């Protein structure tokens, strides 16, 4: 029974070897603004995604570019013997989740106060080789 578990663990480990991820937590941009940029690079080849992010004017694109470079570096660390150009890496998955919210008060007319919500987000990028269909 123990050898079967080891075989399954090895199979899972081998499957995960072809994908790498990077996370950015508590990024001080609203999730809605970050999703606009994330949707541009979802499913693209890594080289094309980096070009899109480099020449996009939104502030979120600079943060996503840095995160994508980190995910590529993580993939290279896992697959030292593999060549980056031959692997044809793609952005398999990119998720933007809402983070913590800073709540502030802004003065309003007639002695009232309006609540200002300063939003943040968490971004996760998963990159993997195109020829490997397993995730």
CATH number, domain of 104, equals: 3.90.470.10
Q: What is the mean pLDDT of residues 80-97?
A: 89
Does residue 5 form part of some domain?
no
Does residue 6 form part of some domain?
no
Q: What is the mean pLDDT of residues 22-35?
A: 96
| 3-class SS of residue 58 | coil
Distance separating alpha carbons of residues 84 and 113, to the nearest angstrom = 54
Q: What is the mean pLDDT of residues 5-27?
A: 87
Does residue 71 form part of some domain?
yes
Q: Which of 117, 115, 74, 126 lies closest to 99 in space, CA to CA? A: 117
Distance separating alpha carbons of residues 119 and 129, to the nearest angstrom = 33
* pTM attached to this predicted model: 0.85
- pLDDT, the chain, mean: 91
Burial class (CB in 10 A: 0-12, 13-18, 19+), 122: middle
Q: What is the mean pLDDT of residues 51-72?
A: 96
The residue with greater pLDDT, 85 or 64, is 64
Does residue 10 form part of some domain?
no
| Contacts with 45 (C-beta within 8 Å, 6 or more apart), sequence order | 88, 89, 90, 130
Q: What is the mean pLDDT of residues 13-41?
A: 92
């Amino acid at each position: 029974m123990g050898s079967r578990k080891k075989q399954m663990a090895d199979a899972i480990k081998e499957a995960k070897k072809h994908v790498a991820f990077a996370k950015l937590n508590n990024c001080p941009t609203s999730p809605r603004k970050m999703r606009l940029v994330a949707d541009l690079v979802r499913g693209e080849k890594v080289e094309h995604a980096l070009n899109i992010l480099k020449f996009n004017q939104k502030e979120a694109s600079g943060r996503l570019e840095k995160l994508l470079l980190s995910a590529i570096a993580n993939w290279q660390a896992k697959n030292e013997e593999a060549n980056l150009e031959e692997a044809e890496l793609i952005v398999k998955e990119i998720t933007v989740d809402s983070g913590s919210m800073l709540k502030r008060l802004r003065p309003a007319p007639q002695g009232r106060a309006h609540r200002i919500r300063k939003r943040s987000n968490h971004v996760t990028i998963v990159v993997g080789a195109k020829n490997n269909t397993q995730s």
